[in-house]
């Protein structure tokens, strides 16, 4: 049974009953590298990026990949070589940008809890901008910059408070969110920033949520942002750039988010209409650049049919694929070989971890038997980057494919690496 449509993954297709990502047969990778195994398509990442680039054609725009979605060095290298900047949320992520050959001058630093040490590190590296999330953070950043004889370039992350009733997917741009500066405090925060000698105000930013599949919240956010820009500039504080954050959704399960180029064509029309079309723009896409570029390959260990439920126990688990346990998220699961002899049945696909929350998919129609290989789809974003060593399971290996070539880009962790930093006290 060949699924008619593979959600949003144009580089993934069955050829003669075997699943390929670009020109690489996935079963070959599973056999040579073992499972669970993450496989990413460079072509799919570049195609996702190209949609943003088309949307911003002829504009001044910097695409900063929100690397928390997938911070593997090989993935970062793909985006660095394509000219992207990076949106980071820790000093560790900055070190990854440098290790992958990224340009620190195109790095913006988001997050509500930057430490002094991270600020110092980012100033030394010469990043483009700190996206400051509170008044308290402004004071600390000013202090750190002055102590280094520098001026930190700042943007204030504002909370546009887009109406939650009509846009239920939005979770970070609401009143009551820990993120950003409340709409009504934005002007006074900018005044304070402009008065601090260790800071240079360069922009404004927002990020209204994730897995957004409608255009309307973005249009609302654009309008709210431009209202603020007008107020701030009327107060004599010039803004060089406007950063609209990330959040564009992907197709996990018949989701229909707008394409990035369509979305941005529409948003830029609104920006043009309001006279802001020639500004320097930034965006911080994460999921939409990598989510549907990756799959997680796994082997069926055991079938455990039961009276109420049939369980299909696989060798990938919540430590590898945390999104179902964390968000009750859906990932499509399909066989690597589409001409399986087993009868189709309904299975709960679960991992070996000792938690009832360790499930990958509920009630999936699959023709499976022990030893079969499966692919968990849409696994390029917020999977490996959130993976853990729970149950002393080493994290999976990763492979990058392009056309008919494949490269191992992360070695599988061993149990020893899981406890390498642990110390037995002298008794």
Ligand X SMILES: *Cc1c(COP(=O)(O)O)cnc(C)c1O
Give the residue numbers marked as catalytic.
354
- Taking CB under 6 A as the criterion, the residue among 22, 93, 251, 284 binding ligand X is 284
Nearer to ligand X, 87 or 398 (CB): 87
Decide if 335 contacts 6 (C-beta within 8 A): no
- Quick one: 122 or 248, whose CB is closer to ligand X? 248
Q: Which two tokens stand for residue 84?
A: 């992207």
CB 88, min distance to ligand X, A: 10
What's the token pair of residue 365?
Answer: 């129609």
- Residue 371 CB, shortest distance to ligand X, in Å, is 35
Residue with smaller CB distance to ligand X, 160 or 246: 246
Q: Which of 198, 285, 322, 361 binds ligand X (CB under 6 A)?
A: 285
Helix (H, G, I), strand (E, B) or coil at 106: helix
Structure tokens at 311: 């369980």
**110 binds ligand X per the rule CB under 6 A:** yes
The Cα–Cα gap between 99 and 107 comes to: 14
3-state secondary structure of 312: strand
CB of 339 to ligand X, least distance (A): 36
Contacts of 79 (CB under 8 A, 6+ apart): 45, 49, 65, 86, 102, 289
Dihedral angle over CA of 328, 387, 336, 26, nearest 10: 150
Options 91, 217, 286, 380; binder of ligand X; rule CB under 6 A:
286
66 binds ligand X (CB under 6 A): yes
234: phi then psi, degrees, rounded to nearest 5: -65, -25
- Pick between residue 43 and residue 285 the one whose CB is nearest to ligand X: 285
| Nearest distance, CB of residue 10 and ligand X, angstroms | 19
Among 55, 217, 247, 322, binds ligand X (CB under 6 A): 247
- Window 299-358: residues binding ligand X (CB under 6 A): none
By CB under 6 A, residue 246 contacts ligand X: yes
Contact 123, 152 (CB under 8 A): yes
Taking the C-alpha atoms of residue 133 and residue 123, their distance in angstroms, rounded to an integer, is 17
Instruction: Collapse the DSSP code of 418 into the 3-class scheme (helix H, G, I; strand E, B; otherwise coil) and give the result.
Output: helix
User: What binding mask, one character per residue, do residues 79-108 give for ligand X by CB under 6 A, x or -?
Assistant: --------x---------------------
List of residues contacting ligand X (CB under 6 A): 66, 68-69, 87, 110, 207, 210, 245-248, 284-288
């Amino acid at each position: 049974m060949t699924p008619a449509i593979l959600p949003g993954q144009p580089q993934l297709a069955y050829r003669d009953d075997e699943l390929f990502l670009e020109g690489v047969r996935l079963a070959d990778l599973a056999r040579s590298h073992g499972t669970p195994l993450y496989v990413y398509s460079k072509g799919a990442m570049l195609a996702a990026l190209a949609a943003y680039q088309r949307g911003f054609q002829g504009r001044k725009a910097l695409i900063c990949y929100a690397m928390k979605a997938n911070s593997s060095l090989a993935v970062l290298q793909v985006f660095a070589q394509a000219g992207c900047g990076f949106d980071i949320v820790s000093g560790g992520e900055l070190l990854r940008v440098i290790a992958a050959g990224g340009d620190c001058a195109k790095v913006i630093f988001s997050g509500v809890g930057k430490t002094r040490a991270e600020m110092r590190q980012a100033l030394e590296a010469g990043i483009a901008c700190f996206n400051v999330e509170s008044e308290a953070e402004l004071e600390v950043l000013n202090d750190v910059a002055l102590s280094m004889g520098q001026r930190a370039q700042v943007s204030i992350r504002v909370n546009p408070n887009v109406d939650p009733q009509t846009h239920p997917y939005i979770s970070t741009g609401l009143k009551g969110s820990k993120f950003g500066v409340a709409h009504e405090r934005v002007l006074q925060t900018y005044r304070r920033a402009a008065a601090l000698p260790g800071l240079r105000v360069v922009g404004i930013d927002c990020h209204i949520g994730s897995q957004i599949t409608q255009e309307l919240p973005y249009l609302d956010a654009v309008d709210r942002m431009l209202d603020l820009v007008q107020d701030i500039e009327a107060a004599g504080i010039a803004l060089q750039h406007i950063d609209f954050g990330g959040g564009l959704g992907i197709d996990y399960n018949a989701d229909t988010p707008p394409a990035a180029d369509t979305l941005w064509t529409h948003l830029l029309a609104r920006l043009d209409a309001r006279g802001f079309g020639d500004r320097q723009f930034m965006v911080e896409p994460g999921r939409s650049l990598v989510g549907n570029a990756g799959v997680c390959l796994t082997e069926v260990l055991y079938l455990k049919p039961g009276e109420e439920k049939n369980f299909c126990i696989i060798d990938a688990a919540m430590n590898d694929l945390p999104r179902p346990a964390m968000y009750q998220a859906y990932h499509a699961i399909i066989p690597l070989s589409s001409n399986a002899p087993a009868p189709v049945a309904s299975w709960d696909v679960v991992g070996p971890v000792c938690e009832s929350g360790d499930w990958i998919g509920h009630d999936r129609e699959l023709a499976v038997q022990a030893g079969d290989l499966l692919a968990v789809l849409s696994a390029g974003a917020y999977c490996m980057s959130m993976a853990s060593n729970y149950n002393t399971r080493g994290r999976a290996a990763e492979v990058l494919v392009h056309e008919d070539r494949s490269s191992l880009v992360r070695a599988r962790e061993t149990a020893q690496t899981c406890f390498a930093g642990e110390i037995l006290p002298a008794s």
